[in-house]
Amino acid sequence: MKLFDGGRAPNPRRVRVFLAEKGIEVPLVPVDMGALGHKSDEVARRNPLQRLPVLELDDGTVLSESVAICRYFEELQPEPPLMGVGAVGKATVEMWQRRMELNLLMVVAQAFRHIHPAMKEWEIPQIPEWGEANKPKAAEFLALLDRELATREFVAGDAYSIADITGMIAIDFMKPARISVGEDLSNVQRWYAAVSARPSAKA
Amino acid sequence: MKLFDGGRAPNPRRVRVFLAEKGIEVPLVPVDMGALGHKSDEVARRNPLQRLPVLELDDGTVLSESVAICRYFEELQPEPPLMGVGAVGKATVEMWQRRMELNLLMVVAQAFRHIHPAMKEWEIPQIPEWGEANKPKAAEFLALLDRELATREFVAGDAYSIADITGMIAIDFMKPARISVGEDLSNVQRWYAAVSARPSAKA
To the question of pTM greater than 0.95 for the whole model, the response is: yes
pLDDT confidence of B73, banded at 50, 70, 90? very high
pLDDT (mean) for A77-93: 98
Q: Give percent above pLDDT 70 in chain B.
A: 100
* Contact status, residue A175 vs residue A184, Cβ threshold 8 Å: no
pLDDT (mean) for A148-176: 97
DSSP string, B55-74: EE-TTS-EEESHHHHHHHHH
* Contact status, residue B82 vs residue B161, Cβ threshold 8 Å: yes
Q: How far apart are CA A147 and CA A191, in angstroms?
A: 12
Shortest Cα distance, chain A CAs vs residue B57, angstroms: 10
Q: How far apart are CA B13 and CA B72, in angstroms?
A: 16
The answer to whether the Cβ–Cβ distance between A75 and B67 falls below 8 Å is no
pLDDT in tens, B49-70: 999 999 999 999 999 999 999 9
Return all residues near A162 (Cβ < 8 A) that are at least 6 apart: A14, A18, A67, A70, A82, A83, A93, A97
pLDDT confidence of A78, banded at 50, 70, 90? very high
Which chain B residues have any C-beta within 8 angstroms of a chain A C-beta? 48-49, 57, 61, 63-65, 67-69, 71-72, 75-76, 86-88, 90-92, 94-95, 98-99, 103, 125, 127, 129-130, 133, 144, 147-148
Please tell me the predicted confidence (pLDDT) of residue B63. Answer: 98
Q: How far apart are CA B56 and CA B67, in angstroms?
A: 15
Asked if the model's pLDDT at residue B101 lies above 90, the reply is: yes
Which chain A residue has its CA at the smallest distance from B95's CA? A68
pLDDT confidence of A34, banded at 50, 70, 90? confident
Complex ipTM tops 0.90: yes
- Please name the helix (run of DSSP H) or strand (run of DSSP E) that holds residue B3, with its range, or none: strand B2-5
Helix axes B128-149 and B186-196, enclosed angle (nearest 10): 90
Q: How far apart are CA B131 and CA B129, in angstroms?
A: 5
Best of B11, B59, B72 to disrupt the A interface (most A CBs within 10 Å) is B72
Return all residues near B180 (Cβ < 8 A) that are at least 6 apart: B174
Shortest Cα distance, chain A CAs vs residue B193, angstroms: 25
* Torsion angle, alpha carbons of A5, A38, A163, B43, to 10: -170
The answer to whether the Cβ–Cβ distance between B75 and A57 falls below 8 Å is no
| Short-list B176, B69, B156, CA closest to B116 | B176
Q: Give percent above pLDDT 90 in chain B.
A: 95
pLDDT in tens, A113-137: 999 999 988 899 999 999 999 999 9
Please report residues of B whose CB lies closer than 8 A to that of A123.
Answer: none
Asked if the model's pLDDT at residue B34 lies above 90, the reply is: no
The answer to whether the Cβ–Cβ distance between B99 and A49 falls below 8 Å is yes
What are the φ/ψ torsions at residue B184 (nearest 5 degrees)?
-75, -10
Please tell me the predicted confidence (pLDDT) of residue A66. Answer: 98
Which chain B residue has its CA at the smallest distance from A77's CA? B87
Return all residues near A101 (Cβ < 8 A) that are at least 6 apart: A67, A166, A170
pLDDT (mean) for A48-77: 98
Which chain A residue has its CA at the smallest distance from B85's CA? A75
**C-alpha count within 13 angstroms, C-beta hemisphere, residue B77:** 13
* Contact status, residue A92 vs residue A156, Cβ threshold 8 Å: yes
The answer to whether the Cβ–Cβ distance between B91 and A72 falls below 8 Å is yes
The answer to whether the Cβ–Cβ distance between B86 and A75 falls below 8 Å is yes
Mean pLDDT, rounded, of chain B: 97
Asked if the model's pLDDT at residue A159 lies above 90, the reply is: yes
Q: How far apart are CA B58 and CA B63, in angstroms?
A: 12
Q: Label each residue of A134-152 as H, E or C.
A: HHHHHHHHHHHHHHHHCCC
**C-alpha count within 13 angstroms, C-beta hemisphere, residue A24:** 22
* Total length of chain A: 203
Asked if the model's pLDDT at residue B121 lies above 90, the reply is: no
The answer to whether the Cβ–Cβ distance between A75 and B57 falls below 8 Å is no
Asked if the model's pLDDT at residue B177 lies above 90, the reply is: yes
Please report residues of B whose CB lies closer than 8 A to that of A144.
Answer: 48-49
Please tell me the predicted confidence (pLDDT) of residue B125. Answer: 95
Asked if the model's pLDDT at residue A184 lies above 90, the reply is: yes
pLDDT (mean) for B84-102: 98
